[in-house]
Homo-oligomer: A and B are copies of this chain.
């Protein structure tokens, strides 16, 4: 039996696995150190009351024969897909419930979607960016080209001068916090239509765009229905990192080589997936209720407030940074360090703050560092105090 040889070309371990190991090793040596986690983009606010209530109700449904639910539709229950379609409608975008696939989370779908694409497609990936885009394609052996994000383009690379088949866009971007405006996205749609490329649009952080006039779904851009799949998540907007629920939208008319991507993905999911847990889907439904929306908006406000405090601190210290406005991430220059992994260790050892080295998001990320605003207000305040103490000294 032969193993998939492409796995040899992967880094030793997935970025966040590596960070967890480094942190665990440090904690073991310093058991009393109170570490302040601003690394992995995990949320800290609990599920909102409307969602908790929905889980209780679902438990009772599952506990009684008359209301018990066994296998559900692979694509997700209509009650949830209809709620998501209404969420799109509120953004002025018409998406049919039939075009929505409920998922166990954006990460799962971003990886699994590759099953329906040929192995020799050329993939364009922003650099820096969420590392799973690269790793999942390396596993299949697809050639990867990078779209460089730099301070000059505000970490928002535009269409390249080469041909790409699959294009990843993440807006608001992880890790830089930068978000495309309509004009910039329209240029990408124009490129994709001209090149018969497919845009894989990761909108996991779209909830942070509320109140801005930046596009929060690529389907707000004319023509996108003919060249884009959108992958969304409840992880950050509704604190679902531990609940596991997202959704992927594939327009019915999206076709390549005469094949409907909607049908291909439906066939893939019917064969390798059995739908998302009923209890989780009921919880997700509650997120989209008027009550749930109001409550989650309030929870998001906590992270926005954290981001403001972090931005103020960095500004005060004269450290260059991006993001932090319509995004839970701040992307900063490593102050006084060339290597972002060295800075990671420095910050861990001297301020007990865990961040994410920019290099982990691609070679263009070297020299930069990501801080997350998903902590509690208390830990964020503590972290910024330590941060100020550390960098004011220098």
Residues of A within 8 A of B (CB): 1-5, 7, 10, 13-14, 16-17, 40, 42-47, 49, 51-52, 55-56, 58-60, 62-65, 68-72, 74, 104-105, 107-108, 110-112, 115-121, 132, 135-136, 139, 165-166, 196-198, 239, 241-245, 256-257, 259, 261, 264, 267-268, 270-280, 283, 376
Interface pair A139/B271, CB less than 8 Å apart: yes
Q: Note all chain B residues with C-beta closer than 8 A to A242.
A: 62, 68-72, 275, 277-278
Whether A49 touches B63, Cβ cut-off 8 Å, given contacts A2-B121, A118-B4, is: yes
Which residue of B has the minimal Cβ distance to A270? B14
User: How far in angstroms is the closest Cβ of chain B from A363?
Assistant: 19
22 sample A-B contacts, Cβ–Cβ < 8 Å, listed by A number: A1-B165, A7-B264, A10-B267, A43-B70, A46-B62, A46-B63, A46-B64, A47-B59, A51-B62, A55-B59, A104-B273, A104-B274, A107-B273, A107-B274, A112-B112, A115-B139, A132-B272, A139-B268, A241-B274, A242-B275, A244-B276, A280-B280
The docked-state distance in angstroms from the alpha carbon of A136 to that of B273 is: 11
Task: Give CA–CA (A194, B52) in the complex, Å.
Answer: 53
CB distance from A108 to the nearest CB of B (A): 6
Cβ distance A121 to chain B, nearest Cβ, rounded Å: 6
Docked Cα-Cα span, A276 to B243, in Å, equals 8
Q: Residues of B contacting A256 with CB < 8 Å?
A: 1-3
- Closest-CB distance, A88 to chain B (whole angstroms): 24
Enumerate chain B residues within 8 angstroms of A270, measured Cβ to Cβ. 13-14, 16-17
- The CA-CA distance from A17 to B270 in the complex, in Å, is 7
Residues of B close to A271: CB separation below 8 A: 14, 111, 132, 135-136, 139
Q: Find chain B residues with CB under 8 A from A10 CB.
A: 267
Q: Beyond A243-B277, A274-B105, is A121–B1 a contact (Cβ under 8 Å)?
A: yes
Closest-CB distance, A326 to chain B (whole angstroms): 22
Closest to A199 in B: B1
Complex contacts, A49 vs chain B, CB 8 Å: 63
Contact in complex: B47, A52 (CB < 8 Å): no
Given A4-B264, A243-B62, the answer on whether A272 and B46 have CB atoms closer than 8 Å is no
Chain B residues within an 8 Å CB radius of A58? 55
Best-surrounded residue of A17, A40, A60, A70 (most CB of chain B within 10 A):
A70
Give Cα A270 to B302, complex, Å.
29
User: Please, which residues of chain B bring their CB within 8 A of the CB of A112?
Assistant: 112, 272
Query: Given A244-B277, A277-B242, A279-B279, A7–B68 Cβ distance below 8 Å?
Result: no
